[in-house]
Amino acid sequence: MARKTYGLIEAGGTKFVLGIAHGPDAVLETIRIPTTAPDETIGAVCEWFGARGPLDAIGLASFGPVELDRASPKWGHILNTPKPGWSGADLAGPLARAFCCPVSVDTDVNAAALAESRWGAGQGQRCVVYLTVGTGIGGGAVIEGQTLRGLSHPEMGHIRTPRHEADKAFAGICPFHGDCLEGMASGPAVIARYGHSLSQLPAGHPGQGIIAWYLAQAAVTVQAMLEPGRLIFGGGVMETPGLVERVREEAARLGGGYFRGQPADVIVRPGLGERSGLLGALALAGG
């Protein structure tokens, strides 16, 4: 039996990553294209896949907010977003029409959680959470093989957080909530306070401990809500050397041994590295 061919799309705010694969061990080709205007970007996506023969299924791991309700006429559309031009953009429709194959859509972070639960750091776990800390903070989860969704997908970056003792003056940068987690600990929130990214700060700069402290608060809240077997921290900010270790230590101290999952086991980096998004699209497509 011929192996199926899947079209993979990791749709981000600054770039789209596309891929063709037969399976997780057989990603044939990938490309990055910049995210410009919706028509232009989606046109480029269709053109790239169109030149590569028929697809059996497409997996779309998208930035949010994106409509995931199949019963909605806006299914697969980007919802209200501050990103210019993208509010209401239909991502899934043009793909389904152009390639006459099933299209599966979920958030980039739900897809990453799914890929990690199948092939990465979350294998064998009933519940896996993937938290990305970068330009924004987003979270996805898989529970018994299903990605998490309520009325909409999770917006874990917007959970509430206590304030660090030495960080009372900063108002936070979230345009909706000011000092939610994303407002306090995303990449731009670091730069707004310290003028540099976390990895650019000199060793011993207090900002490193402060940001680790916020992420540990988030880790404890995630544990209290979901008790995941793995809480995977991805995203650009987490590339900072030593950061995940500090988050782990602080979460262990803060949790006080109360939760079943011990931070030493639970809090990890992605097993699939930067590939969790694109392989998430593969998992969505059924590959």
72 binds its own copies (CB under 8 A): no
Half-sphere exposure of 53 (CA within 13 A, CB side): 8
Place of tokens 């959680």: 113
* Contact flags string 78-117 toward its own copies, x per CB under 8 A: ----------------------------------------
Distances (CA, A) of 102 to 53, 54, 58, 72, 145: 15, 12, 6, 16, 19
Distances (CA, A) of 214 to 17, 18, 235, 257: 30, 33, 15, 19
Per CB under 8 A, the list member of 132, 161, 186, 276 interacting with its own copies is 161
CB of 259 to its own copies, least distance (A): 7
Per CB under 8 A, the list member of 167, 227, 239, 249 interacting with its own copies is 227
Q: Is the dihedral of CA 256, 261, 264, 268 positive or negative?
A: negative
Per CB under 8 A, the list member of 60, 92, 148, 189 interacting with its own copies is 148
Q: What is the DSSP letter of 33?
A: E
Per CB under 8 A, the list member of 132, 208, 217, 276 interacting with its own copies is 217
C-beta closer to its own copies: residue 229 or 287: 229
Cis peptide before 65 (omega within 30 of 0): yes
Distances (CA, A) of 223 to 131, 176, 186, 218: 12, 25, 20, 9
Per CB under 8 A, the list member of 23, 162, 209, 241 interacting with its own copies is 162
Candidates 176, 175, 181; CA nearest to 218 is 181
C-beta closer to its own copies: residue 82 or 204: 82
Per rule CB under 8 A, count of chain residues that contact its own copies: 47
C-beta closer to its own copies: residue 195 or 209: 209
Per CB under 8 A, the list member of 221, 239, 269, 271 interacting with its own copies is 221
Candidates 60, 58, 71; CA nearest to 21 is 58
Range in contact with its own copies (rule: CB under 8 A) among 30-38, 84-92, 216-224, 234-242:
216-224
246 binds its own copies (CB under 8 A): no
Per CB under 8 A, the list member of 2, 100, 151, 169 interacting with its own copies is 151
